[in-house]
Structure formats: structure tokens, C-alpha cells
Structure 1
Amino acid sequence: MNSSSMPTDRKQMYRKRRQLSTDNGENWEGRGLNINTTSYVLLNQVGDALVNNGESLSKQKLSNKSNEQLQGDKNLYSLQEKITSRFPRTLVTIVCNTDQKPDPHLRNIFQRQLNQTKTMLKSLVYFSSSSFRVIVVTESQKTYDQVLSQLEDWPERYRSRLHFERGEIWIPKQENILMEVWRPCSWPKLFLHEALPSLDAAIYADTDILFLGPAEGLWDALEGLQEPQAFAIGQDPLYDRHKHRRYAGTVGLSAGLFGANFTRLRSFKSEHGGYSDTIMHYKKNNKNSHDQDTLNVLLADYPEMFHELSPQWMFCPSHCLQGVLPCCLDTGVNVIHGFDATFVRGVEMVFQVIYEALLDFDLGSQASLLRERLDKEFFRVDRLALSSACRRVMGIQAILTKHIRDLADLEGKGSTEWYNEKKTKTKNEPLTKE
């Protein structure tokens, strides 16, 4: 990016970051406004040491630091505050490259995770007008760099609204087996309060999440949690269809996307210990359960801990199994979840064609092109009777593409100002009661 084209405030922030990187001996790579920061763990440690939040550094460690080192810590903490004020909405996702062998259904292929992450972030900035702080939790720096390298050709007006940081995966000691259970790195999402110890609250999203409308309403729901609620979390109706599994909420809860107040999770206490100890207690007492199953059983015993979101904010293929949708006819759907490799396996083609269209879509192109492609793809799915429970649901195309059509219509009228204003003021559809 040509520095002469930068606004003054951006130039100052960029210079400040470069200066701090020099002062602290770190290699900060500039990507527009997307500074590839030093390990997020470093910033967490600084924040912990200064504000005593979470598992802070001991006073002994602090006393051993020189004044020069402490000043560097304060500079980094000051920088973290500036980042938070400029990017107040924090999104966390986990991308993991493991040694697991690919299975026949493409579940463990690393390239699929990379493609899904790129598409998820693309849909986030395309349908929303806010700026976002994105913490990518990975098992290595190499994986983090691979994620960011996919976004380098994005137009600056989209890319500059994402500030990236890296977080380290955290799991309980002597529980390394969790890294191999179910999906690669599926369990670390339940321990983000440990992995990011100075983060107060955030929205977590699996890589197989797609935003089909403004995402800001999720942060509204997170901010609206009433103590002791720590989760704003959506539904997974599969639990309601398989009664042999215990679940929380009206039909079961999804761990694919949730808002979490990590501060409240850190202060959680039960007869089994803190939140992490309690999670492991439920895991060991439900040996065949996966991460989402374990979270459901825990929240079934502690229903005061969560607020259940409507399907507008977590729409799964299993919602279509009911035949008639209980929501979203007027509001449309803002989030879909392609769990279990739904976007690539050919088992729910309505979801897959949406994912493929957004994967191929060039940011900066007109929404009318996206609408036209999806019209053709929905017609093909219906005409050829391709595998899909959702294609049998009346009005499903209008529900899933409402925001795309709204945007395309506004582009046709030569203005998107109304839509951009609407995006910043999006209200939640009434949230489902627990």
C-alpha cells in the first residue's frame, strides 16, 4: 500500500506499530492495516501482568524484569488498548493442521479448513460494515501465515477492516489425546478462556460458518448477556431428533458459533472445580461424547449460564429436517453452519452451492452477480433433485438469500448507503428462550 494514500491516522498507527516492533525486537509484517502481530500470547502476558486478569504473571517474574523491559510491556499493552478501541468486535476462530489422515468424507483435509476460513472471513466483511479484530488460534506460526496469505489479494477497503492476531492452542495438561478426538482441534474451543487469558469476551466461529447477512447483531447479543450468563449460543436440532443424547436448550445447542464472556467463565466454580475442570469432569463421565456433546450436558446442568439464539443466528441443515421453518421468513438468515463437512461432501447441496458461490466470489464484485449465480444453482439443485433436505422447505431460497437480494436491489438503484446503515443497526430477531 502506498503510504502517500494513507489517511493521517492510519499512517500514525502504522508508524507506531513499526516503532514498537523495533523497540521490542519482534518482526511485525505490515499488511495494510492488518498487522501480523507477534504471538498473541505475548500481548496476553503483558495484559495479565498489568491488569491481573486471568492467570497473570507472578509478581516474582515482574520484579525480575528491568525497567526497560517493563516499559516495553507497557507500550505493548497500550498498543493492545488502541487495537481494541479501533476494532471493538473480536472474532476468534481455530485453524489446525494435524497429522490425521484424510478420511473418505474430506473431513480432515487441511486445505478445506483454509478455504473455509477464507470464505468465512470474506462473508463477514462483505455483509457487515464494521471493523473486526480476528484472533486466529493455530498450532503453529506456519498455519497462521497460510491463513493470512490467502487474503493478500483482497481489495484494501475490505482487508483493512480486519486486524489479525495469532493465539496459541491450549488444552489441559496430560490431556493431549483431546487433540486427536473427533475433529482436528475441535476441543480447544472449549478452553479459549485459558488460551486467551486477557480477552474479556468474543464471538467464536468454526471455519465452516458463513455469514449471509450483517454480523453485528451477534455482538449485540453478547453484550446483552445478563450475569451469570456466559454464552449466547445457537441451536442444533439434531439433538431433539436423537433423544438418546442429553442436551441443553429447546432442541440442543451448537458449539459451531457462540458468544462467550470469558471473564465469567474464569470465575465459574462448581463442585468439580473451575470451568476447565468441570468440562473435563463431564468429558470423562461421558466417554463417547465429543466437544459439543460435552458442552450440551454441562449447560443442561447449568442452564443459567447461557442464552439461546434463534435460528437466524445459527441455521444448520438439521433445521430443514422439520420441513417447515419456525423462523426467519421476514428477517432472513444471517449465519449458516456447514457442520460435518457439509460444504464439500454433497450431502446438503443447498448449503454447498452457497459456499461454492461465496468461495469463488470476488470481493468488490456486484451482489447481482452473486444473486444470479445462486438463482441458477438453486434451480439446478431442485431440477436435478440433488441431495438436499433444505430444497424441500418452502421459501428456503428467499430465506437464505434475503440479504444478498437486498444488496443487489440497492446496487441496481445506484445506492448501498441505506443497506450499510441498516447493517450497523441490525437488531436480533427475538431470541429463543431457554
Structure 2
Amino acid sequence: MRRYLRVLLVCSLLVFCSLLYTFNQLVSSLDSASHQARAQRTRAAEPGLSERAHDDRCNSGSVSHWKPYWRFPAAVCRVDCVTDMPLRSRSEPVGLAVVACGSRLEETLTMLKSAVLFSRRDLHFHIFAEDDLHAGFRQALESWPQRFRSRFNYSVYPITFPSDNAREWKRLFKPCASQRLFLPVDSVLYVDTDILFLRPVEDVWSFLSAFNRSHVAAMAPEHEEPRIGWYNRFARHPYYGKTGVNSGVMLMNMTRIRAKLFKWADLLMPLLHKYKLNITWGDQDLLNIIFHHNPESLFVFPCQWNYRPDHCIYGSNCAAAEKHGIYILHGNRGVYHDDKQPAFRAVYDVIQQFPFEEDPVGGLLVPLDEKLESAEHTYCGRVRHVFTKRLRQTVTDLQRETIRARHALEV
């Protein structure tokens, strides 16, 4: 009897093991069949991945998803970035975003005016402003001549931050500046209010097509000359490259940015808490920290696309602007509104005062040349040609297109 029971027990164990093996094989088969679908789902964040290698970055056309690991001492998260996202069609409007608070209404309108004057494509302005500025923006933009008004649409948004830390974000650096980290729009060119376009906006927008599969944003270096660089001399936190990057002109692929498992707030807040006592330039410092740890995610464009007083205040150090002229002028440090850098103020004044329907040669180039003559006592004024070279070409191109359009209508 005992022998019979032993044989029965052994047979039962064998049957159980066989069933278990069959079940495991079935599960494995199903898992393999659904692997492609699971690869597209959002993956949960995993702690302790700060040193994990990026073996699965997009190094070939056969890879459709990249999974870099955002290596932060205070917070580590993983992202899935959809790389086969179609780029915007040339027929779609160029998205231009700006954040305006306080007394920045007129300065912002001058920036928008420069965009409309020189662009050949339709634009969409995304204006994030304090509530008491909304009416001023609408009234001014609707009053522009129809020939220019027809070139753009606009949306005005309130200033909003993640509710859990809204006050902390709003008070970081300048009022409302951190709003640019939380733009609820599609891919967009963000610019500070003190930006002036000296060539069409769509030309910087075209850098989106130069992004590789890992790029999520594009910016210009903070400095060209390390001897006068701020980050490499004074920063007490990580920063991008040799001299950091400047966020005053920032092209952002928001689709890729939103592909992160964590929202920007969840990504940035741990960094803010870790470096709060060490950052000077607010959200720009946080962006430098992010791209220090993830340099493959940033596309860097040359200095003439974000030309600031630092490029000439101690002597000319933006070789690309010397050769090609300034493409985008960035009048930070309030230089449009004082007499410290008259070359920068000259460009701002002529664009602000330019009547829309006037001839751009007589209304822009001639008065700008006259104003720049009085700026030669400054280092920036001594390289006055960089302020007019590209603008002169832009005006010439626009005149040629106008002539061609008239001829086409006559025919």
C-alpha cells in the first residue's frame, strides 16, 4: 500500500510540473507577441538608475524609441521619446510664445511687431500674461493694419503654474519668468520679451528639422569667450558645456518633452529644492542643470541667433555675427531703455517707431544708420555693421518678394 502511495505521489508531482512548464511557455509566448505594444506604453520610473548606460539611444533608423535616463542626484526619472513624430508642415503657422508681466507690454508688442514685419509664413502668437495686460495686447494687435494682421493669429493665456508649488515658481528669478517651463502648447519657439527679430522667424523655426532623435530643445551658448563667461567662473551648480546656455531664445519640441513619464514640475522641483540656494538666474539655471546631465537632448545654434550685449560689451566675440550679421537681437539687462548700450537701443527704437505701411528702407535702415553713428564710443557701437548687415538683407529680400508678387498679379 505504501509503495502504491509513493508511486501515486511521484506521478502527481510529475503531472504538476508538466502543467506548470506548459503554463510558463504559454505566458512567455503571449508576452513576446505583445512586446511591440508594451514598448509604446509609458514605463514607471525606476529609482537608482543614475549610472545606467544609454545603450538603447536612437543610433540607427531602426530604433523608434529612445530611453535616456535623466541622471539627477536628487531625482531620477526615465523618459520615452517618440521619435517618429512628423515635423510641422511648412503650411502650418509658426508658433511663437512669450511671457509678459509687469511693465513689459510695449516691449513685447515691439518684439511681436518685428516678427510680423519680416516673416513670410503665418504666425501664431502664444501670449502668457498677467490678467491686467490681456486687454492691452488684444487692443494693440487688433489695431494693426489688416495687411499685417492677416499674417498672424494669437491666443492670450493667464499665468499658471503647477498648483502644488505655484507661489514658489512665480517668485523664482523675475516675475512669471518660469512660466516658460510650463507652456501648454505644441512645439514652439519661446522668446523673452526683449527679443527683436532681424530675419524671418521661420528661419530659426527650421532648426526643428535639424533635430536628431534625442533633441528636445535648442538654445545658444551663454558666452563665446570663457574668460568673461558667468557659469564657468561663478556657477555653483552643473551647467551645459563650457559656458552654459541662454534660454532667452529657446526652440522646444513640446511633444518630446511631454513624453517624459514625469511632468516638468515633477522633474524640476527636486532640482529646485537641491540647488535653490545656489541658482542665480532661476529657470535658466535649472535648464542648464538638466542639459548638463543630458547633453544629447540639446541642439545648440550659433550666437547670432541670440546676440546679447555680452557679445560686444568687452569687445566683439561672436564671430558668426561678424560674418553674417545679427539674426536675433536680445537686449537683456534693460539696454533698450537706458543709454548704456546705444547700439541696442537704436535697433529697438527704430522698430518700435516704424509705421507699418512705410518703406522699410527709409523707415528702418536710414534712421538706424543715423542712430548707430552716435554709438561709436562704445564697443558694441564699433561693430555697428553687425546690427545692420542681416537686417539690410532681410529688407532687400522682402522688397524682391513684393515686386514678384505684384508682377504675378499683373500677369
User: Normalized against structure 2, the TM-score is what?
Assistant: 0.68
Q: Is the 8 A contact 1:179 1:186 kept in 2?
A: yes
Cα offset, 1:93, TM superposition: 1.0
Task: Note if 1:355 corresponds to 2:348.
Answer: yes
Q: Is the 8 A contact 2:304 2:318 kept in 1?
A: no
Q: Is the 8 A contact 1:367 1:407 kept in 2?
A: no
Deviations 1:261-300 (A, max 9, x none): 112111225xxx5432222222222114211112112211
SS at match of 1:328: helix
Deviations 1:55-85 (A, max 9, x none): xxxxxxxxxxxxxxxxxxxxxxxxxxxxx99
Q: Residue 137 of structure 1 corresponds to which residue in structure 2? A: 128
Q: 2:202 & 2:271 partners in 1: Cα distance?
A: 33
Q: Residue 152 of structure 1 corresponds to which residue in structure 2? A: 142
Task: Note if 1:254 corresponds to 2:249.
Answer: no
Q: 2:403 & 2:259 partners in 1: Cα distance?
A: 40
Task: Note if 1:286 corresponds to 2:280.
Answer: no
SS at match of 1:401: helix
Task: Note if 1:89 corresponds to 2:106.
Answer: no
Q: 2:209 & 2:404 partners in 1: Cα distance?
A: 21
Residues 308 and 300 (structure 1), Cα distance of their counterparts in 2 relative to 1, 3 Å cut: same
Cα offset, 1:420, TM superposition: 8.7
Q: 1:239 & 1:293 partners in 2: Cα distance?
A: 19
Deviations 1:340-396 (A, max 9, x none): 3221133222111111111111112112221111111111122xx3xx44124xxx3
Q: Residue 401 of structure 1 corresponds to which residue in structure 2? A: 388
Q: 2:247 & 2:120 partners in 1: Cα distance?
A: 26
SS at match of 1:165: strand
Task: Note if 1:344 corresponds to 2:337.
Answer: yes
Q: Residue 199 of structure 2 corresponds to which residue in structure 1? A: 213
Q: 1:131 & 1:285 partners in 2: Cα distance?
A: 42
Counterparts of residues 271-420 of structure 1 (less than 5 Å): 273-288=262-277, 289=279, 290-320=282-312, 321-369=314-362, 370-382=364-376, 385=377, 388-392=378-382, 396-406=383-393, 415-417=399-401
Cα offset, 1:419, TM superposition: 9.4
Q: 1:278 & 1:408 partners in 2: Cα distance?
A: 43
Q: 2:90 & 2:119 partners in 1: Cα distance?
A: 18
Q: Is the 8 A contact 2:199 2:394 kept in 1?
A: no
Q: Residue 114 of structure 1 corresponds to which residue in structure 2? A: 105
Q: Residue 153 of structure 2 corresponds to which residue in structure 1? A: 163
Deviations 1:76-111 (A, max 9, x none): xxxxxxxx99642111111224xxxxxxxxxxxx1x
Q: 1:317 & 1:149 partners in 2: Cα distance?
A: 32
Residues 284 and 304 (structure 1), Cα distance of their counterparts in 2 relative to 1, 3 Å cut: same
Q: 2:215 & 2:159 partners in 1: Cα distance?
A: 25
Q: 1:85 & 1:206 partners in 2: Cα distance?
A: 24
Task: Note if 1:235 corresponds to 2:221.
Answer: yes
Cα offset, 1:233, TM superposition: 1.1
Q: 1:154 & 1:405 partners in 2: Cα distance?
A: 24
The one-letter code matched in structure 2 to 1:164 is: Y
Q: 1:292 & 1:177 partners in 2: Cα distance?
A: 15
Q: Is the 8 A contact 2:101 2:130 kept in 1?
A: yes
Q: 2:268 & 2:247 partners in 1: Cα distance?
A: 14
Cα offset, 1:319, TM superposition: 1.4
SS at match of 1:327: helix
Q: Residue 40 of structure 1 corresponds to which residue in structure 2? A: none
Q: 1:344 & 1:118 partners in 2: Cα distance?
A: 15
Q: Residue 47 of structure 1 corresponds to which residue in structure 2? A: none
SS at match of 2:106: helix
The one-letter code matched in structure 2 to 1:137 is: F
Q: Is the 8 A contact 1:96 1:185 kept in 2?
A: yes
Residues 249 and 362 (structure 1), Cα distance of their counterparts in 2 relative to 1, 3 Å cut: farther
SS at match of 2:246: strand
- Higher alpha-carbon Rg: 2
SS at match of 1:257: strand
The one-letter code matched in structure 1 to 2:221 is: Q
SS at match of 1:249: coil
Residues 363 and 312 (structure 1), Cα distance of their counterparts in 2 relative to 1, 3 Å cut: same
Q: Which moved more, 1:341-350 or 1:398-407?
A: 398-407
Q: Is the 8 A contact 2:119 2:200 kept in 1?
A: yes
Q: 1:357 & 1:158 partners in 2: Cα distance?
A: 18
User: Normalized against structure 1, the TM-score is what?
Assistant: 0.65
The one-letter code matched in structure 2 to 1:374 is: L
Q: Which moved more, 1:119-128 or 1:274-283?
A: 274-283
The one-letter code matched in structure 2 to 1:403 is: R
Match among 193, 208, 220 for residue 222 of structure 1: 208
Q: 2:214 & 2:404 partners in 1: Cα distance?
A: 34
Identity %: 26
Q: Aligned-pair RMSD on alpha carbons?
A: 2.8
Q: Is the 8 A contact 1:129 1:420 kept in 2?
A: no
Residues 361 and 173 (structure 1), Cα distance of their counterparts in 2 relative to 1, 3 Å cut: same
Cα offset, 1:257, TM superposition: 1.3
Aligned residues: 308
Q: Residue 265 of structure 1 corresponds to which residue in structure 2? A: 257
Q: Is the 8 A contact 1:407 1:416 kept in 2?
A: no
Cα offset, 1:168, TM superposition: 3.4
SS at match of 2:356: coil
Deviations 1:17-38 (A, max 9, x none): xxxxxxxxxxxxxxxxxxxxxx
Q: 2:327 & 2:130 partners in 1: Cα distance?
A: 30
The one-letter code matched in structure 2 to 1:217 is: D
Q: Unaligned stretches of 5+ in structure 1?
A: 1-52, 54-83, 98-109, 422-434
Q: 1:239 & 1:410 partners in 2: Cα distance?
A: 33
Q: Residue 200 of structure 1 corresponds to which residue in structure 2? A: 186
